[in-house]
Amino acid sequence: EDAEKGSYDHYMLKEIHEQPVALRQTLHGRIDGDDVSLEDFPPGSFEGVDSVQFVACGTSYHAGMYGEWLLSKDGVEANTFIASEYAASPAPVDEDTLVIGVTQSGETADTLEALESARQRGARTLALTNVIGSTAARTCDDALFIRAGPEIGVAATKTFSSQVATLVLLAERLVRDLTGSPTDDHAARLDALESLPEHVEVVTNDTQAADVSQRCLGDNGHFFIGRGNAYSVALEGALKFKEITYGHAEGFAAGELKHGPLALVTPETPIFAVGTGHYQNRLESNVNEIQTRGAPVIAIAPRTASGLVDTADEFLPVPATHPDLVAILANVQLQLIAYHAANEMERSIDKPRNLAKSVTVE
Binding footprint of ligand G6P on the chain (CB under 6 A): 57-60, 103-105, 108, 111, 154-156, 355-359
Neighbouring C-beta atoms of residue 245, cutoff 10 Å: 25
The helix/strand/coil state of 147 is: coil
State the nearest-atom distance from the C-beta of 358 to ligand G6P, in Å: 5
357 catalytic per annotation: yes
Instruction: Show the DSSP H helices in 208-278 as ranges.
Output: 208-212, 229-245
Residue pair 18/150 in contact (Cβ under 8 Å)? The answer is no
Q: Which is nearer to ligand G6P, 152 or 262 (CB)?
A: 152
* Cβ closest to ligand G6P, residue 130 vs residue 321: 130
Of 93 and 154, CB closest to ligand G6P: 154
Nearer to ligand G6P, 156 or 298 (CB): 156
**Residue closer to ligand G6P, measured from CB, 105 or 117:** 105
CB of 48 to ligand G6P, least distance (A): 27
**Which residue is nearest to ligand G6P, using beta carbons?**
58
Backbone angles phi, psi at 223, to 5 degrees: -115, 150
Provide the minimum distance between the beta carbon of 300 and ligand G6P in the complex, in angstroms, as a whole number: 21
C-alpha distances (whole Å) from 46 to each of 49, 95, 145, 172, 204 are 6, 12, 17, 11, 36
CB of 130 to ligand G6P, least distance (A): 8
CB 117 within 8 A of CB 76: no
Which are the contacts of 45, defined by CB distance < 8 A and separation ≥ 6? Answer: 173, 177
Based on CB atoms, which residue is closest to ligand G6P, 108 or 117? 108
Q: Compute the least distance from the CB of residue 353 to ligand G6P, in Å.
A: 12
Cα end-to-end distance, the chain, whole Å: 30
Are 41 and 173 in contact, with CB atoms under 8 Å apart?
yes
Task: Characterize the bridge pairing of strands 271-274 and 249-253.
Answer: unpaired
Helix axes 229-245, 58-73, angle to 10 degrees: 170
Q: Could you tell me if residue 33 is left (phi over 0), alpha (psi between -120 and 50 degrees) or otherwise beta?
A: left
Beta strands in 265-350 (DSSP E): 271-274, 297-301, 314-317
Q: Which of 5, 73, 351, 357 is catalytic?
A: 357
Measured from the CB of residue 108, what is the shortest distance to ligand G6P in angstroms?
Answer: 3
- Check: CB of residue 321 under 8 Å from CB of residue 345: no
How far apart, in whole angstroms, are the C-alpha atoms of residue 297 and residue 289? Answer: 11
Residues marked as catalytic: 357
